[in-house]
Structures are given as C-alpha cells and as structure tokens.
Amino acid sequence: MDFYQVPPSIGNQYSEDHILQSILKRHLPANIFAEIEPELKKFGERVVKEMEPLAQEAEANPPIHVPYDPWGKRVDEIKTTKAWDRLHEIASEEGIVATGYERKSGEYSRLHQFAKLYLYHPSSAIYSCPLAMTDGAARVIELFGSPEMKKKAYANLLSRDPKTFWTSGQWMTERTGGSDVSGTSTVAKKVGDHYELHGVKWFTSATTSQMAMTLARIEGEEKLSMFYVELRNAKGELQNIRINRLKDKLGTKALPTAELTLEGTPAVLVGESGKGVKTIATLFNITRLYNACCSVGYMHRGIALSLDYAKKRKAFGKFIIDHGLHLETMADLHVRFEACMQMTFHAAVLLGKEEMGKATEIESGTLRLLIPLVKLFTAKEGVAISSEVIESFGGAGYVEDTGLPQILRNAQVLAIWEGTTNVLSLDALRAIKKENAAPAFLKDIEMRLGQVKHPELQGMKEKTLKALGDIQKVFVNAAKLTEEDLNTKARSLA
Ligand code: MFK
Ligand code: FAD
C-alpha cells in the first residue's frame, strides 16, 4: 500500500475569506478600507506561516507550575513555552488590542480591530483570551481609572512594543460561584491609601499577566467593589499571591489557568465602592464580544480546512466534495457560520460607534441586547460546527497530531466562560426588562432590512419583516415575566 492522504492546508486567511472582505467593504468608507486592507493581507499570511506553527507548539507543551525553587523557597513560577511568549509579542506588534484604542480609523477602529482578532485567534492557541481581558481592562481604566493607572497600566496594555506590553487577568470566579459572583468571599481591608485583598480565586486565566481586575467585599460593606491588582513588585516577586495549582483542563491547554490565594495582595479601588459588578460589566461586555469574534474565527478555520480536505479526499470513486450529501453538510455549516459572522461584526460596528459617541439611541440599545445574544449564539454554534468539522474528516478528525481535535476542545469553553448560555439568556432578559432594549433592537433590524434592495432577496425580506412581529410579541411577553418565570423561560426565549 503506497497511498498517503494529502493533508488539508490553508492559504492567506484574509485573501481567502470573501465574507470578511465583503463585511469590511460594506461597512468601511473606501479610503479606510484601502488603508487597512494591505495590513490585513499581510497579517492573513503571517497567521498561517508564522503563528500557526507557534500555536501548535504551545498547544503541545502546556505551561508548568513550579511551586518551589531547588532550595525549597516558594517561588510559584509558571513556565510557558517560547512559542506562547512569541504569540504575546506578535499580539503587541500587530496591535491586536491597541488598534481598538488608537482609534486611527475613528468609529471604525473596533471593526478594524475585530478583523485582526478574527484572523489572530485561530492560530493563537487561545492567546486571544489574555487579550480579551486586556482589552476589557483598558476600557475600564479609560472610563474609571485613576490618572496613575492611565499613565502606567493603560499605556502598557496598549503598547505595540512587546517589551512593555502588558496583559490583564479578570478574577471573578470563586469556589462559591462563577455565575453568581455575589457569593464572593474575598475581603478588602483598607490599609493607608490602598486595600489588601484576602481570599481565594478559583479560576484565573492568563496568570502570567502583569495585572488583574478583580472583585472583593470591602470590610463592613454589603456589596462588591472592583479592584486593580499588580501581580508582582518591582523585584518581580508575586505580591502576597500564592499559586495553588494550574487547572488540568479539557482544552485551552496552552493557557495557564490557576487557582490563587490572595494573602494581603495590594489593590486599588476602581470606580465607586459597592458598584463592583456594574463596573466590571464594562469589562465583561468587551470580553463577551471577543468571545463571539473568536468563535467565528474558529468556525472559519474549521470550515476552511474541511472544505480543502473535501477536494483532496476520495471515497467511492470521487472526491468527497462531489458527494451531494457531503456538500450539503458543508453548505449548511457555511450558512450558519456566515449568520454568526454578520451578527458579530455588526456588534463590532456598534461598539466602535458607541465608544466614539457616534451611536444613536437605537444603536446603543441594540448593542446592549446584542452582546449577550451574540455571545451565547456564536458559542453554541461554535461547538456544534466544530463537532461537524471533526466528523467531516472521518477518523483523522479524531487524531491529535492532525491538530483538529483542539478546535472542538477549545470551542467548548466559549460557551462556559464569560457567562454560560443560561446566564446570558437571563442577561438578555435583564436588558429587555430593566433597560428596555427590545424596541431599539427591533428597529435596528427593521432599518437594516430596509437597506436590502436586491430583487432576489425581497422574499426573504418580507418573511423576516413578518417574523419581527412574532419576535416583538416574544419581547413584550418577556418584559412581563415574573422572576419565577424568568428562570424557566429565559433560555428558550434567547
Ligand atoms: C477567546 C475568547 C475571549 C474570552 C476570554 C475570556 C476569559 C475567561 C474569563 C472569565 O470567564 S471571567 C468570569 C466571567 N464571569 C461572568 O461573566 C459572570 C457571569 N454572571 C453574570 O453575568 C451575572 O449575571 C452577574 C454576575 C452580572 C450577576 O451579578 P449580580 O450581582 O446578581 O448582578 P445584578 O444585581 O443583576 O446587577 C448588578 C448591576 O450590574 C446592575 O446595575 P445597577 O447597579 O445599576 O442596578 C446591573 O444592571 C448591572 N449589570 C449586570 N450585567 C450587566 C450589567 N450592566 C451592563 N451589562 C451587563 N451585562
Ligand atoms: P456555576 O455558576 O456553578 O454554573 C453551573 C451551571 O448552573 C451552569 O450550567 C449555569 O448555566 C447554571 N446556572 C447558574 N446560575 C443559573 C441561573 N440563575 N439560571 C439557570 N442556570 C444557572 N473565571 C474568572 O473569573 N477568570 C478567569 O480567568 C476564568 N478563566 C476560566 C478558564 C476556563 C478554561 C474555564 C473553564 C473557566 C474560567 N473561568 C474564569 C470561570 C468561568 O467564568 C466560570 O466557570 C463560569 O462563569 C461559570 O461559573 P461556575 O463554574 O461557578 O458555574
């Protein structure tokens, strides 16, 4: 037997992505598109040629926790691969976070940034996770940070120099609960002009970050507050932080996720005391959009590999792409991916407008409701699509050194962290009931349908307009639900 299957391969991830190109062309003014396209083309090549091998190396060599040095001194080092560190540097060089804040493309800067993140993520071994939290932290500092935080942390979070580029953690989850953070037991004791934190943080990803945003209860207060923490002092030693262990996870193998004990860790209050959840919502509304963008990034990568393979793999005398049933499966995946893509990038456009003060009331209301919906929907579709992608390779899809299983493993986490599907369904209802976001959301869809002029799409337009009536009824009913009903109906409504 001298048959060897030709493996799947992918080319320039920008040039081969007509959906991304069409979204950018549709939203961006021609001069901005012309300005950023060469950069995206170059990056589309870099993710395949330079980043992909680094990502595979990082995935294959998970971080290691070294609690003690050879002489018994507690050091709590986390050793990462050079490949992982290089992915950090590339993120900085490419300005994956900075692009959103330099705002060179004005209100389109978030769209520009999300296009880069979408290309970066599938070849990053989930380095996109630290970047998400970094971006969220930058936004929090921009809105609520002290002048010192703006001068030091904010500048570092947005640095394009790998030597000064910082990432941030987001420590919310404790053993008592991740969805319900009100169970947080970390206490903040006031010491002079700052606080010291005492408690255990149960999931902290990107533990090699230089800083973190976290929640704690100030002694004597009922509600949570939000705090800024620098992990290490000027000598590079952890500031009263013990790393208990690294989690052994289903996926996200390259990403260090630790359990920490805070033993008097210095911290600075951010925003108003007692308003911690509200303040950190600014951060997690950004990370939830990153989550959606990374989910569509994975969908695209999986489908691209699968489609290429279908043109190389033969069964029953012809290429599998030529089997109608296989083609139909691929087409179904592609349509679902495109729907997710359009939703995600619409949210990115709205975020850019909102941050530049250019969003209308309708756009702001839409964004508030779209964030939980797009996060939960793309995450769920991401898991389903990745699973189908694995199956499209037959047995090869199940074999580790093809690099394919990691897509499914990593996609699964997107539905868990940053709010599970049910918790986000409840957040969508919070936006409808408390913030009256539904009328804006419906108007936004109606207005966008109004822009559909193509004769062949008129049938679809009529159908969707009719469906809007039904969706409106759902929203009206949702707004009337009692707390009791909310708990049972939120998921199906979302
Ligand atoms: C590669 C992909 C990139 C992603 C990387 C991710 C890395 C992983 C990091 C993590 O997983 S970090 C942990 C993430 N954890 C969560 O997302 C927690 C999920 N749970 C929720 O979202 C709960 O709904 C919540 C914690 C918010 C419930 O807490 P509470 O204290 O019961 O909230 P409450 O009382 O309803 O709201 C408090 C305030 O926050 C209210 O405002 P007011 O004070 O004015 O009344 C709410 O309106 C406001 N709020 C809550 N959710 C909001 C919000 N405001 C805006 N947007 C929201 N989404
Ligand atoms: P629980 O809150 O106990 O939820 C268990 C189940 O109950 C879920 O299915 C949930 O949907 C359901 N549920 C809970 N409340 C309700 C409700 N009101 N109605 C209906 N159903 C409900 N956290 C951080 O803070 N920082 C990090 O860096 C971080 N990194 C992570 C990395 C990885 C790889 C993973 C897997 C998790 C990470 N997390 C992190 C934790 C993550 O955010 C939480 O696991 C998540 O928010 C869920 O919280 P929990 O684990 O306590 O589950």
Task: Give residue 18's region: left, alpha or beta (phi > 0; psi -120 to 50).
Answer: alpha
Pull the structure tokens for residue 68. 């003690």
Ligand index nearest the alpha carbon of residue 285: 1
Residue-wise pLDDT for 120-130, tens only, equals 999 999 999 99
Model pLDDT, residue 483: 67
Asked which of 37-46, 218-227, 262-271, 456-465 is least confident by mean pLDDT, the reply is 456-465
Residue-wise pLDDT for 151-165, tens only, equals 999 999 999 999 999
In ligand 2, which atom is closest to the CA atom of 133? Answer: 28
Ligand index nearest the alpha carbon of residue 288: 1
ipTM of the complex: 0.99
Check if 174 has its Cβ closer than 6 Å to any atom of ligand 1. Answer: no
Ligand index nearest the alpha carbon of residue 277: 1
Model pLDDT, residue 476: 82
Architecture in CATH for domain 168-275 = Beta Barrel (2.40)
By the 8 A CB rule, do 430 and 411 touch?
Answer: no
Residue-wise pLDDT for 354-365, tens only, equals 999 999 999 999
Q: Read off the pTM.
A: 0.97
What is the residue-wise DSSP string for 155-194? Answer: HHHT-SSTTT---EEEE--BTTBSS-GGG---EEEEETTE
In ligand 2, which atom is closest to the CA atom of 413? Answer: 36
Question: What confidence tier does 233 reach under pLDDT thresholds 50, 70, 90?
Answer: very high
Q: Does the structure show a pLDDT above 70 at 187? A: yes
Amino acid at 13: Q
Q: Where are the alpha helices (DSSP H) in 47-196?
A: 52-60, 82-94, 98-102, 109-120, 128-144, 147-149, 155-157
- Cβ of 147: how many Cβ atoms within 10 Å? 8
Q: Whose CA is nearest to atom 27 of ligand 2?
A: 204
Model pLDDT, residue 260: 98
Check if 249 has its Cβ closer than 6 Å to any atom of ligand 2. Answer: yes
Residue-wise pLDDT for 59-90, tens only, equals 999 999 999 999 999 999 999 999 999 999 99
Check if 387 has its Cβ closer than 6 Å to any atom of ligand 2. Answer: no
Q: What is the CA(420)–ligand 2 centre distance, in A?
A: 6
Check if 17 has its Cβ closer than 6 Å to any atom of ligand 1. Answer: no
Q: Whose CA is nearest to atom 43 of ligand 1?
A: 278
Pull the structure tokens for residue 350. 């709205």
Question: Taking CA 339 as the corner, what is the angle to CA 337 and CA 344, rounded to the nearest 5 degrees?
Answer: 95
Spell out the domain ranges in the chain.
Answer: 168-275, 426-493
CA 244 from centroid of its chain's CA atoms: 26
